[in-house]
Amino acid sequence: MEFNLVFEVYFMIHLQQYLSLEQQSQVIQACREVARISPLYTPKMPSGKPFNCQQTSCGSYGWISDRSGYRYSEIHPNTGKQFAPIPEIIYNLSKSLATQIGELDYIPQTCLINYYKSSGRLGLHQDNSEQNLKPAIISISLGDDAVFLVGGTKRSDATKEILLKSGDIIIMNSESRLLFHGVKKIIPGTYNLLKSGGRLNLTIRQVY
C-alpha cells in the first residue's frame, strides 16, 4: 500500500498582548497625527468595488489600489502629496521586532494603516506587492477584536481562525511571509481605546 500524505504547515508568529496600554495609546495617537497629513480614505479594488475598510499609509511609500491595480506609490492618492513620515514609536517598535527575529538590516519603508468599522473586513489575500518579498511583514492590532484568517500559500488552502486583540502582533516572515490571510469580521465593542470604536491595523513593510 502506498501513502502519499503531504502536510504543509507554516507558522506565523503571534505575540499576544505584546503592547502595553500605554504603548497602544501612543501608537493610536501617532496614527491620528499621520491621518492629519495623510487622511484615511476608502480605496477601490481593481474591479472598482470599494474596500470594506479605510486606509492610509506613512513612510516613503504607500500601498494603493485602484483600477490600475495594487502597487506602491510615493504619493497619497487624495492629497497628491508625499505620505507622512513613519512616527518614531512605530519605526522603533518594528525595528525592535525585526531584530528579535534576526532581521538586523530590516528597513521599515512603509506602514499601511487600515481602519475597520464594526462591519469592516478584508478578503483573503497574499502580501505580494513588495518588490523584495524576503523582509517580514509586521502587523499591529489595536481596538476591537478581529477574527483573522490564515491559510496556506494557495488561495484554495484551508484557513484557520485566530482572534486578534488590541496590542497583539503578527509577524509573517520566512515560511509564513506569503501565507494567504484576511479579516473575517470585527467584534464590535470588545475593547476600545479608539474613541470612534472599530479596529486599527498597522502593517509595517520593507518594499525594496
Q: Where do contacts with ligand SIN occur on this chain (CB under 6 A)?
A: 112, 114, 122, 139, 148, 181, 183, 201, 203
Tell me the residue nearest to ligand SIN as measured from the CB: 201
Q: What is the DSSP letter of 46?
A: T
Measured from the CB atom, the residue of 54 and 114 that comes closer to ligand SIN is: 114
**Out of Mn ion, ligand SIN, none, which partner does residue 142 contact, by CB within 5 to 8 A per kind?**
none
φ/ψ (deg, to 5) at 24: -60, -45
Element (H, E) at 199: strand 199-205
Residue 94 near which of ligand SIN, Mn ion, none (CB within 5-8 Å, type-dependent)? none
What are the Cα distances from residue 25, in Å, to 68, 159, 189, 196? Answer: 36, 31, 17, 14
Distances (CA, A) of 115 to 38, 40, 82, 134, 163: 13, 8, 20, 26, 17
130 binds Mn ion (CB under 5 A): no
Other C-beta atoms closer than 10 Å to the C-beta of 53 total 23
The angle subtended at Cα 52 by Cα 94 and Cα 70, nearest 5°, is 65
Q: Tell the smallest beta-carbon distance from residue 77 to ligand SIN (Å).
A: 17
Choose which of 103, 127, 144, 168 interacts with Mn ion (CB under 5 A).
127
Between 38 and 139, name the residue whose CB sits nearer to ligand SIN: 139
Find the shortest distance in angstroms from Cβ 114 to ligand SIN. Answer: 5
Among Mn ion, ligand SIN, none, what binds residue 148 when CB lies within 5 to 8 Å by partner kind? ligand SIN
Interacting span for Mn ion (CB under 5 A) from 24-32, 81-89, 122-130, 149-157: 122-130
Q: Applying CB under 5 A, does 145 fall inside the site for Mn ion?
A: no
What residue is closest to Mn ion based on CB?
127
Sequence-distant (6+) residues with CB within 8 A of 44 are 50, 51, 65, 66, 67
Residues in the chain: 208
**Using the rule CB under 5 A, is 103 a contact of Mn ion?**
no
Strand order in the sheet with 145-150: 122-125, 181-187, 145-150, 160-164
Residue 163 and residue 184 in contact, taking contact as beta carbons nearer than 8 Å: no
With respect to ligand SIN, which residue has the nearer C-beta, 80 or 203? 203
* 183 interface partner picked from Mn ion, ligand SIN, none, CB below 5 to 8 A per type: ligand SIN
**Residue ranges binding Mn ion (CB under 5 A):** 127
